[in-house]
Amino acid sequence: MKKKGFFITFEGIDGSGKSTQIQKLAKFLEDNGFDIIMTREPGGSVGGEEIRNLLLQGEVDRWSAETEILLFTAARRDHLERIILPALQDGKIVICDRFTDSTRMYQGMRGPKLRNLVDNLTEEVINCEPDLTIIIDIDPEISLKRAKSRETAEERFEDFGVDLQKKMRKGFIDLSKEFNFRIKVVNGQQSVDDLAKEIFSLVKARLL
């Protein structure tokens, strides 16, 4: 494997198992001699984490979709400047739990022209797409039970219910066709170890 800066993101509906697979992939890459940065969105930087608290806690109607898009973009810009770009420039592999694709889904699908707003802000303010995105696909009923079982304060989006999860699942699959050059979909209902092996293979194919 060549050692170079590389940006990997994980996407999927809440409770799809992203965190577990990120940990496994990070260990696999570290064992193969790569320098890894694991991060998340919203968050990752100090400013991003402050905005995360605003976005993920409170009542479901706390923010409009338009306001959420602006908040996510502000958090992402700070995260990009302070964490992601410096790490990539240093030749590290950045593994991020969610990025712009989540905003395209969770906010961009909630009203007419909102996807255009996300894409325009991404082009003008973020101007960065991952090298590889892995979508973990899972049944929404299963994923929502997993997500709610965590019993954290950050359940604002889970509280939208299973209908949103179903809509997001379809949206992520559609997104994988739109960006098929970088997005790969894996079956999240296979065993944790089998899923990890499939993800390792996808990543190795891009880093060889």
CA distance 196 to 24: 7
pLDDT class for 198, splitting at 50, 70, 90? very high
Is the predicted pLDDT of residue 3 greater than 60, yes or no?
A: no
HEC readout, the chain:
CCCCCEEEEEECCCCCCHHHHHHHHHHHHHHCCCCEEEEECCCCCHHHHHHHHHHHCCCCCCCCHHHHHHHHHHHHHHHHHHHHHHHHHCCCEEEEECCHHHHHHHCCCCCCCHHHHHHHHHHHHHCCCCCEEEEEECCHHHHHHHHHHCCCCCCCCHHHCHHHHHHHHHHHHHHHHHCCCCEEEEECCCCHHHHHHHHHHHHHHHHC
The tens digit of pLDDT for each residue in 156-174 reads 555 556 788 888 899 999 9
**pLDDT value of residue 1:** 39
CATH class of 6-207: alpha beta
Residues in Cβ contact with 129 at an 8 Å cutoff, skipping those fewer than 6 apart: 100, 182
Is the predicted pLDDT of residue 2 greater than 50, yes or no?
A: no
Give the best-scoring range by mean pLDDT among 53-57, 70-74, 145-149.
70-74
pLDDT class for 152, splitting at 50, 70, 90? low
Is the predicted pLDDT of residue 10 greater than 50, yes or no?
A: yes
Show me where the domains of the chain are located.
Answer: 6-207
The tens digit of pLDDT for each residue in 20-60 reads 999 999 999 999 999 999 999 989 999 989 988 888 777 77
**pLDDT value of residue 62:** 81
**pLDDT value of residue 159:** 57
The tens digit of pLDDT for each residue in 75-113 reads 999 999 999 999 999 999 999 999 999 999 988 988 889
**pLDDT value of residue 140:** 83
Nearest-10 Cα torsion for 20, 152, 161, 60: -130
